[in-house]
Chains A and B, each alone.
Chain A
């Protein structure tokens, strides 16, 4: 009996031997260090759970590693996934520091009682409006909610003074938004605080009726504007700055900071130290490093975000001054408020 399988079996055996050998050599193959951490720059140091991708934090982590002579280990994943993981890990978490891309996630971890109180000197590094009133987390950088538009199709002067104006018939089927993204949800939470639930719901319903197109996130809105699928979109400002950096000045998308009411809104990326950490002094030192002039300058020049530490200067390309952008009150990242927003968005058909 001939076995057509024998060749296959040999291949499989080779693969199995290969796989069996690798763990003996350690923890898999080491990939080049492109995003901070794990290049054995010193004795073992803190563990960071990062909702921000390697390119967004790498040099800031490297700079701390060099200065503290400690090796930072970083786990990268979606911010919300990491928040959920931290809650399940509880006291057993290997993490010392949590760097969140979205504000709701760090509020959820704080509310679960997992974050330590930060020392006074850290809290004082940022203005009070950029930190938790109870001192469990601080903002590191800010991203502004803006209107992005295709400058080949739309003139800046045509754009309304606030997103409320996007419900006009002129904008029918031309606007993109991302109701499922936490940045949009926080914006809606801020609208509710300023204008009340009824006005907010009315706006959401009018947007839906006006054919607002739902995208999963900011990047897909930006790309859809660039392709001409839609003409304007509600997104975070720095996604456009990044694309211009990559594609050059001919990139067709521009940003507009709506001056009226809650036209734009500052959303914070933020950092906190885990209560369960047994390396708190090091963790605090890492947070101080993120708020240092050097790291703040890196954040604003590389990803075009607003630096939040006192005295830090925004990148020259950010023409709208930081104090002209309203920031949501820290109580707005309260979980009950976020849940209320989700319900309102679901009732209005936006989500």
Chain B
């Protein structure tokens, strides 16, 4: 069995390198915290920090549950049923992921807030969306595709013969779903939920606009108001600990349920469930989600963009150059992220041991932290260790890669989990070396997951703001930094065009991601 074999040294070495790179921001926190340990502890263990942590945990749990509750039916409807236009719905339901959370929050306030557009148009005042409720809604709507994407890919990959057998034995559709399908989905649900949870605990944009005092808000107060780097680092360290707990919980779910099938070769289309009359409520459900999470925000943006274009302040050459810069960073980060994630995923899935699990956990450290702490950590190490690389494109791509690496690890690991190690063993039995097996068997068969991971990194790197502002070469501007420049002074009309271009570019990988779960041709 693969379980008993130790990992090849080259793979372990590569994994250690990835882990060491990803842990840099957390290491920076440790340096600062141990610089003034008692002050750091006082902050980290204060009752205020604890209260905020509990509040944030409640929000995180609520967002994760709601995300799964949205993703499960949408995933099932768009992969396994005869829902009319299911491929279109799959794309539309994945698209909310392209909307940066701060943009989404602002647009939702503009639309649904007090005296907002809905009020102006319909004359009714919707219930207040500020506080927990608004943060819950916005974070769910713009992150649930992180669960939906791997879920659809998994639904498409799982072996239909089991279900056919269960159905042949007379079980009803719900019973089959609960007893046969769902158990096979737990690993990807756990992986997707982990990404949603880590996103929620590290998000600052949405929660600040929606006035929910989350843990990141405390971090911002610490360094933005009182310029207390020790307090900020101490609170960041608490987030790292929270991340480790979440990972532990997630890996318990993933590890307990190992599901393999023999490669994609035996794939054949299942008979889709006929929805019958149920297709109307199903369509209504999909429509509602798409309206609120995509059409509404994009509609507001288009409305603003129209006003912006009519004032004639748009330079298309500038927009193109900004788009080129965003693309440049995002493509490099996606490629680097995909390779790093494949190394980590192969280690933890194929050679589970204390050491490989430690590497996986280290690799998640950068995603649980708000961008400013990732940026400051790299400022700290780069200016001391590699000053020549400081504020170069290389360092910026490196920062993005470690910040978003877990997004790629999840889907890659999920596809490896479903791929039976016996295929690799067979190749080894035929005399191929481990590196060759990795190159000729593992990578091609896990390609779907690797591509999905790369696409997720790409998407998030496109939207990233704080790390770009601090670590980019001087004068380097992207779509996201341009949106920031405009909205800082409230020039929303001027910001709408770069925002729409960002959405359009980011929509390309989202389209590919959702095709991942489409019916076989």
Contact = CB atoms under 8 A, between A and B. Distances in A.
Contact of B225 (A182, A214, A228): A182
A213 to B, nearest CB: 9
A26 B224 CA distance: 34
A351 B470 CA distance: 27
A5 B451 contact: yes
Contacts of A82: 470
A333 to B, nearest CB: 11
A89 B383 CA distance: 6
B114 A16 contact: no
Nearest to A109: B227
B322 A31 contact: yes
A37 B466 CA distance: 21
- Residue in B228, B321, B372, B477 with the greatest tally of chain A CB atoms within 10 Å: B477
A351 B221 contact: yes
Interface string B104-115: 000000000111
Contact of B391 (A29, A53, A94, A335): A94
Interface string B399-423: 0000000000000000000000000
A214 B487 CA distance: 19
Interface string A20-42: 00110001111110110110000
Contacts of A8: 451, 512, 515
B490 interface: yes
B217 A31 contact: no
Given A23-B393, A29-B325, A31-B325, A216 B208 contact: yes
Contacts of B48: 346
Contact of B488 (A5, A53, A92, A229): A53
Which of B221, B224, B390 has the largest count of A CB atoms less than 10 A from its CB? B224
Interface string B451-490: 1001000000000001001100111110001000101111
Nearest to A28: B325
B469 A81 contact: yes
A319 interface: no
Interface residues of A, number: 75
B328 interface: yes
Contact of A185 (B225, B376, B470, B520): B225
A85 B375 contact: yes
Nearest to B481: A76
- B-side interface size class: 35 or more
Contacts of A23: 328, 393
Contacts of B66: none
B260 interface: no
A141 B490 CA distance: 20
A32 B226 contact: no
A180 B451 contact: no
B470 A30 contact: no
Contact of B490 (A18, A85, A239): A239
Contact of A15 (B331, B387, B391): B331
Interface string B423-466: 00000000000000000000000011001001000000000001
Contacts of A121: none
A68 B331 CA distance: 39
Contacts of A47: 474
B521 A75 contact: no
Contacts of A28: 324-325, 328, 393, 473, 476
A97 interface: no
A222 interface: yes
Given A27-B473, A28-B324, A76-B485, A19 B332 contact: yes
Nearest to B220: A180
A89 B379 contact: yes
A220 B487 CA distance: 10
A346 B218 CA distance: 11
A38 B475 contact: yes
- Interface-centre pick from B318, B376, B489 (highest chain A CB count, 10 A): B489
A108 B225 CA distance: 10
Contact of A18 (B116, B331, B372): B331
B324 A84 contact: no
B303 interface: no
Nearest to A15: B331
A4 interface: yes
A202 to B, nearest CB: 21
B257 interface: no
Contacts of B322: 29, 31
B223 interface: yes
Given A16-B331, A27-B476, A85-B376, A92 B325 contact: no
Contacts of B217: 180
A4 B514 CA distance: 13
A81 B490 contact: no
B384 interface: yes
A34 B498 CA distance: 15
Contacts of B515: 4, 8
B265 interface: yes
Contact of A85 (B113, B226, B335, B379): B379
Nearest to B476: A28
Contact of A77 (B321, B380, B470): B470
B489 A219 contact: yes
Contact of B223 (A5, A80, A220, A239): A80
B383 A90 contact: yes
A76 B474 CA distance: 9
B229 interface: yes
Given A12-B454, A31-B321, A53-B485, 12 more contacts: A4-B520, A18-B327, A27-B475, A28-B328, A76-B469, A82-B470, A84-B229, A85-B375, A85-B470, A104-B225, A216-B211, A243-B490
15 contacts: A8-B451, A18-B327, A19-B328, A31-B321, A56-B489, A76-B469, A77-B469, A78-B469, A92-B390, A180-B225, A222-B490, A338-B225, A338-B227, A339-B228, A342-B226
7 nearest CB pairs, A to B = A108-B227, A19-B331, A29-B321, A77-B469, A92-B383, A38-B475, A80-B224
Interface of B: 48, 113-116, 208-209, 211, 217, 220-221, 223-229, 232, 264-265, 315, 317-318, 320-322, 324-325, 327-328, 331-332, 335, 372, 375-376, 379-380, 383-384, 387, 390-391, 393, 447-448, 451, 454, 466, 469-470, 473-477, 481, 485, 487-491, 512, 515, 520-521
